[in-house]
Amino acid sequence: MMDKKSMNTKPYLFLGLLFLGFAMVSCSSDDDSPITPPPIIEVNDCEPYTATPAFGTINSEWTAPNEEDRYDGVITIPSDPGGGYVRVLLTQDHPDLRPWLTISNDLDAGGAIVSGSSANTNNELNREAYFSVHPGTTFSLEVFPFFNAPVDDYPVSYTIEWEFFSRVDCFESNDTQATAKKILFDETIEAYAIAGHIGYGVGSFDEQTYDWYKVNLTEPGFIESEVLDMPSDMTIQMRLFKTDGSTVSIIHEWLDPDSPNSNGRRSRIKSSQSLAPGTYYIELHPDFVKSRKSSFDTEPIPEHFNKTYKIKTISY
């Protein structure tokens, strides 16, 4: 015969066993459920960065006519991957003096990016210039009176101001096929075509004048890339390459009416035949660029200094 104490304990024991059973079933059910991995979201190789400010001011004076003042390496460009451009302004206030300004990567090499006086400019008392720059470069300045003030009026004070305008391009540096940046099909990308000075000139086929992109074709198909928008002071040419560096046969089409040197004309290229799956490279090259500098205040700042190009690549 069961005593009273045993009868009171048994319901609690039953409930405990029942709860444990449910817990075991529940845990077993969770452990056996398949785990769905999160979707893989493909992204391009854009690497955003913050523009680096750089500027300087020189206050000095010419103590005698024809005095040449030289400032070696006074302009230092930050390492911002997209480079940018520099404005240099030489000011003085003597009404008879016309200042001369020379900008060069090396004043002893005999070449200059900008060189000349303020004579016949919009403001002959001052000298202003703009030029594109490559990351990490340095430049020197030389200034002197081209048309002198009267001898008794010396010394004449002057000021040189320079400022770097960084052009943030998250796809730089991508100047070679080896450094090509991945982009995705059906997305519009935006970048600058502002090849900067390393020496005193920028050659038409210098490495920094190229932009390279790569796309991954996952199934057989055609590749098409289109220039949606661009500066009007250049022509943009594109080619398609395989991984081994050989070119892909393409069909080229102009999308805008003819213009001198085809400057500002949007265009489209597409593979002339279906391509096998794999990685393909788009070479983009600005050509027939009107100028990479503005030497005087009578010349406009090159449009591509401040205007990007846009391209879109698709597969079908």
Phi, psi of 18 (to 5 degrees): -65, -45
Residues with Cβ within 8 Å of residue 120, at least 6 apart in sequence: 298
| pLDDT at 235 exceeding the cut of 50 | yes
Strands in 54-62's sheet, in edge-to-edge order, are 54-62, 156-166, 84-91, 127-133, 293-294
pLDDT 10s digits, 295-311: 999 999 999 999 999 99
How far, in Å, CA of 172 to CA of 24, rounded?
57
- In the chain, which ranges are E strands? 54-62, 69-76, 84-91, 98-104, 114-117, 127-133, 138-147, 156-166, 181-182, 188-191, 211-217, 223-229, 235-241, 250-254, 267-271, 278-287, 293-294, 309-315
pLDDT 10s digits, 111-143: 999 999 999 999 999 999 999 999 999 999 999
| Helix residue ranges per DSSP H, the chain | 4-32
Report the first-to-last Cα separation within the chain, whole angstroms: 85
Single-letter code of the amino acid located at 19 = F
pLDDT 10s digits, 39-97: 778 899 999 999 999 999 999 999 999 999 999 999 999 999 999 999 999 999 999 99
pLDDT for position 33: 65
Bridge partner list, 221: 275
